[in-house]
Every structure is written in C-alpha cells, then in structure tokens.
Chains A and B, each alone.
Chain A
Amino acid sequence: MRETTGSKVFRVIVIVVLGVYSLFPIYVMVTSALKPLRDVQEDFTWWPSQLTIQPFIEMWSTVPLAEYFLNSVIVSTSATVLSVVVAIFASFAVSRYRFRGRSAFTTTVLATQMFPGILFLLPLYLIFVNIDHTFGVQLDGTRTGLIITYLTFSLPFAIWMLAGYLDNIPRELDEAARMDGASAIGTLFRVILPVAKPGVAAVAVYCFMTSWGEVLFASVLTTQSSRTLAIGLGEYATENNVYWNQIMAASLIVSVPVVVGFLILQRTFVAGLAAGSVK
C-alpha cells in the first residue's frame, strides 16, 4: 500500500509534537539532576554549568530515601503478588463458570471504580483503627495495611483484564484436562496459567504501577516508619530551600524500576488491553 505525501507530513508533525511534549519533562529531569544546587536556584539553564553527580549522592542523606524506597518496594511487590493471585482465581471463576451472582459480582467490582477515594479514605482509616483495638492486628500506619489497600485497588481492573484474556483461551483445553481427571485447581494451574502467562504479566505490571504511584491513601495510612516514596519525595522541599536538583535525581531513580518494567512488557500490556476491550 503506497503512502500519500499528506499522511507522511501528518505523521512527522504528530511525532514531533507528541515527542517533544512527552520528553520535555524528562529532559528537564535528567539535566537538572546533573546540576549543582546554585544552578537550580537561579534562572533555568538548558545545560548544567558544571556536570555533577553530587545530587545522586546527596539525595540519600537529605531525606531517608533508602528507607522510603524499601517501603515502596515491599508494599508494591507484596500487593502485586497477592493481587495477581486473587485476580487469577476470580477471573477464572468469571470466565469459566456461569453461576448465580456472577454479573452482580462483576458489576459491583467495576462500580467501586466510580467512588472517589476521598469518600472512603477516612472510613477505611477508622476501620483499621477499630480492627487494631478489637483484634490487636495493627493495620493503620503499617505496611500491611497499605498492602491490603493497594492490592484491592488493583483488583477491579486486574480481574476485568484477565477475564478478557482467559475468554480467548479455548475451552477445549480445560475440557481435555477435565477428561483426564484434573480438578478445577489443577486445570487452572497446569493448563490455563501456562497459556495465560503474558496476560498475567501485564496485570502484574499494572498492579505494581498502581501501588508504586498511589498518593492519597499513602498520605493518611502511613507513619514515618512506613512512609513510601510517593509521600517521601515531598520532603526535599524544606522551609528555606528547595533542592530541585536532588528532587529530580530522586524522581529519576524512583521512576526507573516501573518505566523499565513497563516498557519491557508493553507489547503484552497492549495485547491484554486489546483482549479486554474488544469484548
């Protein structure tokens, strides 16, 4: 199929405009992270007056960044693993069984997406406090509470996406396994999951990104010892000084794990979205 000049010009313009919009903040982030402090306190410059990696060293001591980093890694990883497991079970039920309450379940789960976090933020905090008082299980201010919260936030989209993916896996695979005497769990783990790996990977990336980037609940449900990066990064702005070079350096460092993970799995992610959205 030949291409007209018009559509070539269109393509070039779109790529330039969107490319500049996408990369402008990244460029500012990278160059500013390599600037000495005086550069970011005066008029902006497109290039550092002197290239330095000092911000990448100092950022660890200005704010207990390593501690926040560790908290974020523990919370996001646990929430992702648990969410994926829970979503696999739920989407298997939704995709492979027709049962009473099935559509009530899917509708309710999707409807929770409509409620602003601000409505149930305080209730959730108070429920956590009450669970602490009644059962002695501390959820408020701990990483456990945050893990439970985040894994649930990822669930609706994870179930929806994974169910769409499982629907595309032919049922004769399960049928054959059932004929051979496999149980429901056996079918799920030995037959369906190996085929659904790309879908599971995409869901895992989504869950990790959701947990890694959440701000509102982290601001209320964490204390100093369980604080995550989402809140911790704000601490570089002190009363008399904003360490913009260190903030940019820290922003870069916290972005790397998710950006790399996402970009590696982007094809799978698109395929997973396609499977879910064409239904």
Chain B
Amino acid sequence: MAVPTATASHKPGMIRPGVPLQRFRHRSGWWVPYAFLIPAVLFELLVQIVPILVGIWMSTVKLTEYFIADWQAAPFAGIDNYKVSLDFHGAVGASLLNSFAISCAYAVLVVGFSWILGMAGATALQRSFRGRSLIRTVFLVPYAIPVYAGIIAWKFILQKDTGALNHLLGDNLHLFASSDKPFWLIGGNAFVSIVLVATWPMWPFAFLMLMAGLQSIPEELYEASLVDGARPFRQWRSITLPMLEPVNRVLVLVMFLWVFNDFNTPFILFGGAEPPSADLISFHIYSSSFVTLNFGLGSAMSVLLVLFLLLVTGTYLLILSRRSRHA
C-alpha cells in the first residue's frame, strides 16, 4: 500500500492525529504556520477571492459594452440586474428560469448515472481476478483523457451524416432508414447527447472515489456475513453501501457542484450555438455576458447561481448531519 504508516498512528500510547501538539510549544514561533500559508493565500486572493468580490460588485452596476473600457465608472444599478434576472414574465427572466430547469435535470441525470455506473464498476472490481488491473485502467481512460479531446471525439460520433452513432443505429442495426438519420446535436436529441457525453468522463471519477472507499472496508465483514448466509446482493446492501456512506456524501456533492457549473461540455459540443433543449446555465450566463455584452446582468445571474448552490449545499449538509445524529 502506498500509505505505509496509516495504521501506525493508531497504536496505543502513540500520538494521534488531531491533537494540538505544537500549540504554545514555541510561543515565539507562532508565525510559522502563517508563513507557510502566505503563498497559497496570495494566489487565492489574486485569482479567486478578489475577482469573486469584483464579480459581486459588477452585479450591482450597469456594466454594458459602453462602459467596459472604463469599467470602474459604470453607473450604479442597485438591484436592477437582479430584478431583470428574476422577472420571470420578462424575456430575460423566463429564459433564465428555463435554463435553470434544464441544468437541474442535467445535473441530476449526470450525477445519477455517474454514481450508478461508478458503483457498478467498483463493486464488479472489488474482488481480485485475472486482468483486473487492465480493466481498471480501461475504465479510467475517459477520466484521464483531456476533457476537450473526449468531447471532440463525441462530437464527431454524434454528427448526423458522418457520425458513428447514426451509422451504428441506422446502417448496422436498422433502427431507422439510412436516409432518415436524426440530428443529435440540434433539437430535442441534443439533451440526450449532452447527458451521454458529460457522463462519460464523470463516472470514472465516481468509480475512482468508490474504489478508494472500498479499500477501507475490512474483508472480515464479508466473511462473517457469508457465515450468516448472506447472498452477494444482501452483502452489498448491508455492508458495502453503509460503509461507503462517508465517501458518497462528499462524492455526490462534489459531482453535483461540478456538473451544475459545467461549461466545457456545452461549449465544445455545440461550438457556441446551443440548442434550446440543452441550454445549460453556465453557458447561458456566458452568452448573456459575452454575446450581448451586458456584464452586469451576467454577474447578477452568476451570483444567483452561487446563492442557489450555497442553499443546496447547506440543506444537503444539514440533512446529512441530522440524519447521522439520529442514527
């Protein structure tokens, strides 16, 4: 194992992690941890924290193309940008709401499929057999490949006339006439396509995390349950699933946040012209900002998106902590 010392720290009489060892030991050295953090803090401030704060400020000004050269002078707009975004009877608000609904469906489906496939893969590879590490390598390829390279390959597969999918379904399996090939990147099918494409690099991540989690389940649990006559499915439900709960908590939340904010998949798959059925929120905001050049409005939409994600995350963590307290 690559963590040779993982068990050593739990031997009796030894120092356990989490004990405040070095607190007050060297009073004169109180600044040492801060010195170690300085580079990280500086980069975080420059690239993320300050820009995020500026972004929030932008949501309160009328930052259109006329002010972009002299952006600090953009007139204050108060909550006007938010009003426009949330006015669901207006064109802007209505399309934002629509895009939000599509993103919710997208996130639930992609996270759901990724979890199911990742879980199936991890369970199938839990027990060692000949060729296991080869199969594991194969499963990890979609995750390892650069995101855009994978999406471009799918884009080719999903082409109407020259694509592999229509060739397979039409010419090989005869599910429809060869002259009658459907579009996959335009119209209603585009939503199906983007879920398929986004799940492809995401499920190996679930697989990876769950596989890491499975390594921490002691083999004796399975042996003991076998003595009690448990069948494999029962073992999975009563041992594997509960033991993986800590991993699942983090995994589902992290995947949800990633997928909901996903920009790469629609951007590369549709090349800037998103079909209405797959109008995901990140890309919707991007077009609202950079195509119509109304950056204030785009920022307000982003802030609303963050508030929504904060709400989801908060509720999620609250429910989990309450559930574990009752358990």
Contacts and interface: CB of A to CB of B under 8 A. Distances in A.
B3 A271 contact: yes
Contacts of A19: 135, 138-139
Contact of B33 (A99, A259, A269): A99
Contact of A24 (B49, B157, B267): B157
Interface in B171-227: 171, 178, 200, 203-204, 208-209, 211-213, 215-216, 222-223, 226
Contact of B22 (A98, A112, A165, A170): A98
A118 B40 contact: no
A108 B127 CA distance: 39
B117 A18 contact: yes
Given A122-B55, A123-B58, A209-B146, A278 B216 contact: yes
B324 interface: no
A11 B162 CA distance: 34
A122 B67 CA distance: 13
Name A's interface SS: helix
A46 B156 CA distance: 13
Given A93-B33, A127-B50, A155-B40, A254 B149 contact: yes
Interface stretch (B76-84, B91-99, B256-264): B256-264
Given A43-B167, A118-B285, A270 B303 contact: no
A118 B263 contact: yes
B294 to A, nearest CB: 11
Nearest to B154: A25
B40 A90 contact: yes
B184 to A, nearest CB: 13
B54 interface: yes
Interface string A262-277: 1100111111111101
A96 interface: yes
A219 B272 CA distance: 12
A216 B44 contact: no
Chain B CB within 10 A, most for which of A230, A251, A272: A251
A126 B33 CA distance: 32
Given A97-B33, A275-B3, A127 B15 contact: no
Interface in A234-279: 234, 237, 244, 247-248, 251-252, 254-255, 258-259, 262-263, 266-275, 277-278
A179 interface: no
A271 B4 CA distance: 10
B2 A126 contact: no
Contacts, number: 320
B232 A274 contact: no
Interface footprint category on B: 35 or more
A1 B226 contact: yes
A93 B32 CA distance: 8
B154 to A, nearest CB: 6
Given A169-B5, A171-B15, A92 B36 contact: yes
Nearest to A279: B246
A248 B289 contact: no
B215 A274 contact: yes
Contact of B302 (A41, A119, A215): A119
A37 to B, nearest CB: 11
A171 B21 contact: yes
Interface stretch (B6-14, B104-112, B315-323): B6-14
A169 to B, nearest CB: 6
Contacts of B153: 25-26, 28-29, 248, 251
A4 interface: yes
A265 B256 CA distance: 26
A266 B140 contact: yes
B51 A170 contact: no
A266 B136 contact: yes
Given A216-B263, A270-B211, A155 B43 contact: yes
A22 B52 contact: no
Given A114-B313, A119-B302, A247-B152, A44 B2 contact: no
A258 B144 contact: yes
Contacts of B246: 277-278
B124 A271 contact: no
Contact of B6 (A46, A109, A122, A168): A168
A82 B120 CA distance: 37
Nearest to B143: A262
Interface of A: 1, 3-4, 6-7, 10-11, 14-15, 18-19, 21-26, 28-29, 32, 40-46, 85-87, 89-90, 92-93, 96-99, 101-102, 105, 108-109, 112-120, 122-124, 126-127, 148-149, 151-153, 155, 159, 165, 167-172, 175, 184, 195, 198, 209, 212-213, 215-216, 219, 229-230, 233-234, 237, 244, 247-248, 251-252, 254-255, 258-259, 262-263, 266-275, 277-278
Interface of B: 1-6, 8-9, 14-15, 17, 20-23, 29-30, 32-34, 36-37, 39-41, 43-44, 46-52, 54-56, 58, 71, 117, 120-121, 123-125, 127, 129, 135-150, 152-154, 156-157, 161-164, 166-167, 171, 178, 200, 203-204, 208-209, 211-213, 215-216, 222-223, 226, 231-233, 246-247, 250, 257, 261, 263-264, 267-268, 271, 282, 285-286, 289, 295, 298-299, 302-303, 305-306, 309-310, 313
Given A119-B303, A168-B5, A184-B29, 10 more contacts: A14-B123, A15-B135, A28-B157, A43-B161, A117-B263, A119-B306, A247-B156, A255-B149, A266-B140, A271-B2
